[in-house]
Amino acid sequence: MKRVAVLTSGGDAPGMNAAIRAVVRCGISRGWEMYGVKNGYAGLISGNIFQMGTRDVGGILQKGGTILGSARCDEFRTVEGRLKAIRSLRQVGIDVLMVIGGNGSQTGSFELSKMDFPVIGIASTIDNDLFGSDLTIGVDTALNIALEALDRLKVTASSHQRAFLLEVMGRDCGYLALMSGIAGGAEAIVLPEVEVDPEVIAQKLHQSYEHGKAHAIVVVAEGAKYNAEGLTKYFQEHKERLGFSVRATTLGHVQRGGEPSASDRILASRLGAGAIEAAERGEYGVLVGIKGNDIVTTKLEEVVSSKKGIDLDLLRLAQLLD
């Protein structure tokens, strides 16, 4: 019989609760004892670890956020902090730790793995910047929130003959901006991965105005060199050439909230179940993700040392369609 603990770390993502549920129930179905850790690595250090049963994860599938909580923990960045975390796990008799989170969280997983504690990561971040998984938990929901905002902005933009800059989250990854821009028919998309001259964007807006369009939409990734604020300032200085007046909207953390989509619930359930299967095989020090339609594992060392690139075919499609 194994004792398995699960925690959520980093930014919350819609579908985290579905992953917790899958881990706990799939583990219990094997006769294992399942435990939750409150408030991420901070709870690990303080020993906030408690046993979970099937009913503890009842009714959480459709809930956003994470019932286990998440918190930043500077102490965990130190060797002493990580040693405290391992002592807490061993005091409860935990055999395996499962970490649901993104890049920073899986860097923590890797550090524990290097200290010979069995760890399995589960890919979860709305940024979709985690190497080892085509999609991560929370991406689909965040993308649909961005798309809904874009569709709503078009209505206002058309009513007032304006151009809107919509800034979406994603840190240094332009996935959300690229996909929402394609799906929402944006006139231009600005990504961190591709350097953009603001003059080129200005010309696209002017062309849209000259072609008689009632509105123009530019989707901007927050990590781009010119974010929405920077582009707005540039456009205001050259507004006589745009035709449109320009407004900026930053979605921010609203993209993390709300109920997870069906796709995120299913993905989270599959990845949670996949993590239990990896534990059953004794496969530790890995991230559980999805490639194509297959649940796969990738060594944490490779995950934290690799960068996930943008899909160039999708980028070319966006350029053809704008």
Residues 6+ apart with CB under 8 A from 272: 18, 19, 20, 21, 22, 23, 26, 122
Determine the Cα–Cα distance for residues 218 and 153; give it in Å rounded to an integer. Answer: 11
> What pLDDT, on a 0 to 100 scale, did the predictor assign at position 239?
63
> What pLDDT, on a 0 to 100 scale, did the predictor assign at position 212?
77
- Tens-digit pLDDT string for the chain (322 aa): 899 999 999 999 999 999 999 999 999 999 999 999 999 999 999 999 999 999 999 999 999 999 999 988 999 999 999 999 999 999 999 999 999 999 999 999 999 999 999 999 999 999 999 999 999 999 999 999 999 999 999 888 888 788 889 999 998 899 999 999 999 999 999 999 998 888 888 888 888 877 778 788 999 999 998 888 888 888 877 666 677 788 889 988 888 888 999 999 999 999 999 999 999 999 999 999 999 999 999 999 999 999 998 888 998 898 888 7
> What pLDDT, on a 0 to 100 scale, did the predictor assign at position 220?
95
Determine the Cα–Cα distance for residues 146 and 143; give it in Å rounded to an integer. Answer: 5
> What pLDDT, on a 0 to 100 scale, did the predictor assign at position 221?
94
Determine the Cα–Cα distance for residues 242 and 76; give it in Å rounded to an integer. Answer: 50
Q: In the chain, count of helices (H) and strands (E)?
A: 11, 11
DSSP code at position 187? S
Determine the Cα–Cα distance for residues 255 and 144; give it in Å rounded to an integer. Answer: 9
> What pLDDT, on a 0 to 100 scale, did the predictor assign at position 240?
63
C-alpha to C-alpha distances, 42 to 49, 72, 82, 84, 106, nearest whole angstrom: 11, 7, 10, 10, 15
> What pLDDT, on a 0 to 100 scale, did the predictor assign at position 213?
80
> What pLDDT, on a 0 to 100 scale, did the predictor assign at position 233?
85
> What pLDDT, on a 0 to 100 scale, did the predictor assign at position 286?
98
Q: Where exactly are the structural domains of the chain?
A: 3-138+260-305, 139-256
Query: Is the distance from CB of 98 to CB of 21 less than 8 angstroms?
Result: no
Determine the Cα–Cα distance for residues 157 and 136; give it in Å rounded to an integer. Answer: 32
Query: Any idea which architecture 3-138+260-305 has in CATH?
Result: 3-Layer(aba) Sandwich (3.40)
Torsion sign (Cα): 15, 17, 20, 21: negative
* Length of the chain counted residue by residue: 322
> What pLDDT, on a 0 to 100 scale, did the predictor assign at position 135?
97
Q: 3-class SS at 274? A: helix
Same fold, 3-138+260-305 and 139-256: yes
User: Which residues are the active-site residues?
Assistant: 127
Q: Which residues of 256-287 are buried (b: 16+ CB within 10 A; e: fewer)?
A: bebebbebbbebbbbbbbbbbbbbeeeebbbb
- The listed CATH number (3.40.50.150, 3.40.50.460, 3.20.20.140, 3.10.350.10) that belongs to domain 139-256: 3.40.50.460
Which helix (H) or strand (E) segment holds residue 272: the answer is: helix 262-281
